[in-house]
Structure 1
Amino acid sequence: MPLGRPVYHPAGHDEALRAVLQDLRAGRWVSTRNLLTETPDWGLWTQRTQILAAAVAGSDVVRAWRAEEPHSASAAVLYARVAVERALRAHRAGHRQTNDLWREAVSACGTASSMSPEDPVPWVCLLALARLDEGQRWDEHRVAPPEPMLFPGPWHLLGEADKRDPGNREAYHRMLQFVYGRRPDGPLTEAYNFVQWASAGAPAGSSLHLLPLYVRVERYRREGGGERALDLHWISEDSTRGALRALQLWFDYVPPAATSLLDLNHLAHALWGAHQFQDALRVFEAMDPFFTVVPWTYRTRSPGDADAAAEVFVQARARCSNASRAPG
């Protein structure tokens, strides 16, 4: 069956989350409370709370829920998520209230952690906020690394999240973003060292095996990206090895519907770029009918243009499909 035009939705294959997002955007929070109560594991909990908070960071619906149920740990965690999202957006926009929002978010994280001590999300949130400390003025953001080749940073925060949910996907991505912030225009040596360290110790099925693919995309973005041919950046032996390793140690172990849509897109992109067309098609089929704008947008003349990104996605998928049907 031919694959249709891809669509973007933050919830992806998570049907329950898609329904709840609609309610929450309309100001109704009861279904959100019920969904979070029924969320079975910390990985999915982390992902759902992140998506929910990003969707309603501009509204007061979570504040209203918290006012109605002040003893709800779920409400406190989601409120911390919203506070962090607002602080990060203000920072990106250079808003003069960034520091106030930052302090408010740190306080909300502390409240959420005290109400739900076993929850990794408050610590993930503090990791996200660490990027705002651009000069690493805070002691907790310049802790000595666990290995000499790594960098001083918020290792205690990562450790607290990891203790509660080993290999928490978002925690390691937040740490990677912190690394990017240390050298926003410089070489990615620290980032490569970090993702190699993180993925080397990860068990089969861990999304940490995808981390090196993200750094490769970041390098491509920093070098200008654009509508280039599949060049040596993608078909090098190292790139191909990294894509196949992620396929074998992650994709082959986990049900696609339970994974991050962004991870699936990075894997399909890496396999396509490495000319591993049959394997890439497996990933394209697993994510159907959804896609994410990143990383495809960096292959366009207009990064951030969702329509242009979708067109690159469709062309890449068609290339993989045609190659898979061709006689060997």
Structure 2
Amino acid sequence: MARDGARPAYDPAGPDTALRAALQEVRAGRWMSMRTLLAETASWWRWTQRTQVLAAAAAGTDVVRAWLAEEPHSLPAALMHARVAVERALRAHRERHGRTTELWHEAWRASDALTRAAPHDPVPWVCLLALSRLDEEQRWAEHRVAPPEPMLPPGPWGLLTEADKRDPYNREAHHRMLQFLYGRSASGRLAEAAGFAHWAADAAPPGSPLHLLPLYVRVERYRRDGGRDAALDLHWVAEDASREALRAFHGWFEPATATERGPLDLNHLAHALWGALRFAEADRVFDAVGPYWTPLPWTHRTAAPGDHAQAAEVFQQARARSRSGARRP
């Protein structure tokens, strides 16, 4: 299926069939499958990823509220309540909604309470990290803690440390930190975000998805520079771009310890290797992507960012070009 050239289709569950089934139930307003799925989730990586995807689906419904009403002492239900509250606050912030501050504080209270109710769980700290980007002026003391390295800026480092204590190198926690730093660089060149991404990638063990953080910063820089411009295509073939792509490939994709292979990371790596003209490596990653295409980062390479149909076309062209290039002697 990975090599048959079929048109890709986006699925937020990716290859996780159990999550896909639970998502269908959540969208229908039923919570029992979600409870069962979370009860069977053993690793922190799966726990973090599944609760995030479920919250995105549940944020427009009352399904988690119904679960919590039926089982008011359930920690998973309370966690999903916090996850949904965070998702709603972030959406309100993006849309500049008048209730943003109210939703933010509600989400913060739910997440903060969970740091004590579920002291071994990294997700409450990930939730607090996600909310830190709403404090755009860094008025809260926990959002302007001194950094672990002199070249990094003040920020919610204590929250990242707490998540890291419970699940070292937690993928979402580091991406939430990256998003906080994007907010500090609203009109800049993302130097702070790039510095953090390289610092985290350099410290990550083989097989960690943190090796891909510099690729995300490069996509964000391309987006801010305007994207889809002939001159900007050099952005992807520059020596440092090729070096970042290969370091991510060797640091994350190749090691046998690379068990955390989500579709979004695979798509970013395939995109970076294709852009750097590293077709042999890109072909291997496209095989791993299979049918589980994600709109990002491909939508930034289209004439109309946000057009998923065009983004899917770019994905297919990149896959075909990589396969063709990989077969050449």
Q: Place the TM-score, normalised by the shorter chain, in its bin.
A: over 0.9
Query: Which stretch shifts more, 142-151 or 2-11?
Result: 2-11
4+ long deviations beyond 6 Å: none
Counterpart selection for 1:189 from 183, 188, 191: 191
What letter is aligned with 2:203? G
CA distance in 2, matches of 1:236, 1:254: 29
CA distance in 2, matches of 1:258, 1:221: 26
Q: Secondary structure at the match of 2:292?
A: coil
Deviation at 1:188, TM superposition (A): 1.1
Q: Secondary structure at the match of 1:304?
A: coil
CA distance in 2, matches of 1:25, 1:228: 42
CA distance in 2, matches of 1:148, 1:254: 34
What corresponds to 1:106 in structure 2? 108
Q: Describe the superposition over 1:193-215 as per-residue Cα deviations: whole angstroms up to 9, x where unpaired.
A: 10111111110011110000001
Contact map agreement 2:93 2:134 (CA 8 A) in 1: yes
What corresponds to 1:59 in structure 2? 61
What corresponds to 2:47 in structure 1? 45
Q: Secondary structure at the match of 2:295?
A: coil
Instruction: Answer yes or no: is 1:291 the counterpart of 2:305.
Output: no
Counterpart mapping for 1:151-230 below 5 A: 151-226=153-228, 228=230
CA distance in 2, matches of 1:255, 1:21: 28
Deviation at 1:9, TM superposition (A): 0.6
Contact map agreement 1:3 1:289 (CA 8 A) in 2: no
Deviation at 1:113, TM superposition (A): 2.2
What letter is aligned with 2:201? S
Q: Secondary structure at the match of 1:205?
A: coil
What corresponds to 1:119 in structure 2? 121
CA distance in 2, matches of 1:36, 1:252: 29
CA distance in 2, matches of 1:18, 1:99: 32
Identity %: 64
TM-score, structure 1 as length reference? 0.97
Instruction: Answer yes or no: is 1:318 the counterpart of 2:323.
Output: no
Instruction: Answer yes or no: is 1:82 the counterpart of 2:97.
Output: no
What corresponds to 1:8 in structure 2? 10
CA distance in 2, matches of 1:64, 1:94: 28
CA distance in 2, matches of 1:316, 1:35: 35
Contact map agreement 1:244 1:271 (CA 8 A) in 2: yes
CA distance in 2, matches of 1:293, 1:211: 18
Q: Describe the superposition over 1:219-246 as per-residue Cα deviations: whole angstroms up to 9, x where unpaired.
A: 1111110153783211111111111111
What letter is aligned with 1:274? A
Unpaired runs of at least 5, structure 1:
none
What letter is aligned with 1:283? V
What letter is aligned with 1:134? E
Deviation at 1:114, TM superposition (A): 2.3
Q: Secondary structure at the match of 1:294?
A: helix
TM-score, structure 2 as length reference? 0.96
Q: Describe the superposition over 1:104-162 as per-residue Cα deviations: whole angstroms up to 9, x where unpaired.
A: 10111023222211000010000000000000000000001111100000000000000
